[in-house]
Amino acid sequence: MTYLHWRGQVDLDVQAKVVKHILDRQQPDGGWNTYTGGPSEINASVKSYLILKLAGYSVDDPVMKKAHSVILRLGGIPKMNTYGKLHLALLGLFPWKYLPSIPVEAILLPNWFYFNIYEMSSWTRAMFVPLSIIHHFRPIRLQPPEKQLHELYPYGTENQDFSLPFDDELFTWRNFFLYWDRFFKFVEKFPYKPFRTKALKKAESWMIERITDGSDGLGAIFPSIVESIIAMKCLGYSDDHPTLRKQEQELERFFVDDKENDDFRVQPCLSPVWDTAITSVALVSSGIEKNDPRLQKAADWLLDREVKRKGDWCVKNPYPHASGWAFEYNNDFYPDVDDTFKILIGLTQIEATDPARQKKIMKRALDWARSFQCKDGGFAAFDKDVTKSWLEHVPFADHNAILDPSCSDITARGLECMSKMGYDRSDKVVKRAIKYLKDTQEEDGSWWGRWGVNYIYGTWQALRGLYCIGEDMNQDWIVRGRDWIESCQNSDGGWGETPASYDNPQLKGQGPSTPSQTAWAMMGLLTGNDPHRASLKRSTSYLSSTQNDDGSWDEEYITGTGFPCVFYLKYEFYSKNWPMIALSELRDLMKTQTSPGATA
């Protein structure tokens, strides 16, 4: 809604629905959180308060008074992250001069230079480029007095210097970048900037190419699409320009008007490729034939989604052939390794109408994905070796995701995928991946999860990958992983973990039971080849007792991860697919054993 107010194109019907969505989710203390059951969070609370105020709510309204109190308790606007403050600056509610510099000239740095835009994660890069254009123009749509946010600054601080403070220790990376930030701000005061025009043109060209060529908007994700629209308006694009209209249409595709539940929300992105692969596995596991016409249709659809162009990934990984899959319908510049591994796992279990084509594409895609193995032996999401840790101290990197390092869940999924496509532990890539998993295991036996919440996700996937590739599952370090999972089982027989464990690892494995996390834990335990464990019997009872009459499961809590500690995802299919897979695999394992403790 802040974007629509900046554009001056507010749909009052949409605004009313957004307001209802926000009011329905206000916490008892008056704030808003970033995940179900979580504490009030400053960025979510200020943004929600702002939307209500833009919609006409008075500061004297009881709803606003409660929100005002918790926002000040959390530190007010000065405690927001850069992304939140920038959207306030667009409306004249925070001074541009106190935002970290985002120099557009960075796009001119050559790819071989120690710092260039390809040393950032793909999602940060897709935000950085349009933001650098916006930062040059610093556009403001001033709000009337009744919509200002003076009251959200702690008393006496509204006119103070909000520049980021230096560390007490002189020589730190943070101080290094803050000095550069001060330098860039000093340079901005001068009218002559010799490289600015060239940089703006290259940034515009880079952005437009990734909007118009095989993509459902820049990066096919909400933040970069919104920022690219603002950047295009800054550059003078008219409202009826085809590229601008395309971006606005892609943005509107994220709107979900859920009339059945009287709710309106905006999705951060779409996940059809990922969902199709997991659903296909769930259906085959449940007993649907792999050549069922419906699954053949799904296989053909997935094969048609193969990305055949070289995108941003080729800068860090000059592999000669393009392949792989993206998360969304169309996102040709950003296929990712995790999706590719998962789609290949799905394609090993379903049969397309043209098996020869399927086999050819699968081999090409696996070769492409294997080329992304990082120096540490693990696999990351979108790029290879985007791991310069000093970049985490860049002032605008407070979204906690400027890098794209290797992670245990993707690496383990890679092992599962490679095992299903004929590789074993003698392969060099496999050996290095196994070593990475061993090196990244926590002392208590668990693994941290990057793309799912959290240690339950990471530990299940690590155990599954090791099991599938043929590792001896009775080794002490692997048994510790299974024991850790079992130690976290709730009294109701299920498993659960909230995103709070990202902020506080002492909370790992703790939270209300959910269907998806229970299924992950079950699959982790099944790697011990003992389907008769008491913990598995209790988890089966939990899933049976919580299943709906239509066969589905409800899942209130969030189990997907976007940016740890910042942004989380709810996958609607997770609560259906993962329990189906876990229960099917338990059934199949029980068929192979006649007594407790027997091995398959």
Q: Which residues are catalytic?
A: 338
**Burial environment of residue 399 by CB neighbours within 10 A (0 to 12, 13 to 18, 19 or more):** buried
Query: Quick one: tokens of 346?
Result: 């799905």
Tell me the residue length of the chain: 600
Q: Tokens 């999602």 correspond to what residue?
A: 123
Q: Tokens 């001068």 correspond to what residue?
A: 190
3-state secondary structure of 558: coil
Residue 494 CB partners (closer than 8 Å, separation 6+): 513, 514, 515, 517, 518, 539, 542, 543, 546
Query: Residue 219: how many CB atoms within 10 A of its CB?
Result: 28
Q: Of the candidates 449, 447, 441, 434, which has an alpha carbon nearest to the alpha carbon of residue 477?
A: 441
Residue 434 CB partners (closer than 8 Å, separation 6+): 415, 425, 466, 469, 471
Please state the φ and ψ torsions of residue 528, each to the nearest 5 degrees.
-85, 0
Instruction: Round to whole Å and give the CA distance between 49 and 45.
Output: 6
- State the angle between helix axes of 293-304 and 355-370 in degrees (0 to 180), rounded to the nearest 10: 50
514, 494 contact by CB (below 8 A): yes
**Burial environment of residue 248 by CB neighbours within 10 A (0 to 12, 13 to 18, 19 or more):** middle
For residue 562, the surrounding DSSP H or E stretch is strand 560-563
Question: N- to C-terminal Cα distance for the chain?
Answer: 56
Instruction: Round to whole Å and give the CA distance between 186 and 201.
Output: 23
Instruction: Round to whole Å and give the CA distance between 432 and 445.
Output: 19
3-state secondary structure of 404: strand
Instruction: Round to whole Å and give the CA distance between 345 and 339.
Output: 10
Instruction: Round to whole Å and give the CA distance between 327 and 447.
Output: 24
Strand-pair partners of 386:
404
CA atoms within 13 A of residue 200's CA, in its CB half-sphere: 15
Q: Of the candidates 404, 405, 407, 472, which has an alpha carbon nearest to the alpha carbon of residue 433?
A: 407
How far is the CA of 441 from the CAs of 109, 401, 461, 500, in angstroms?
37, 21, 12, 20
> Residue type at 306?
E
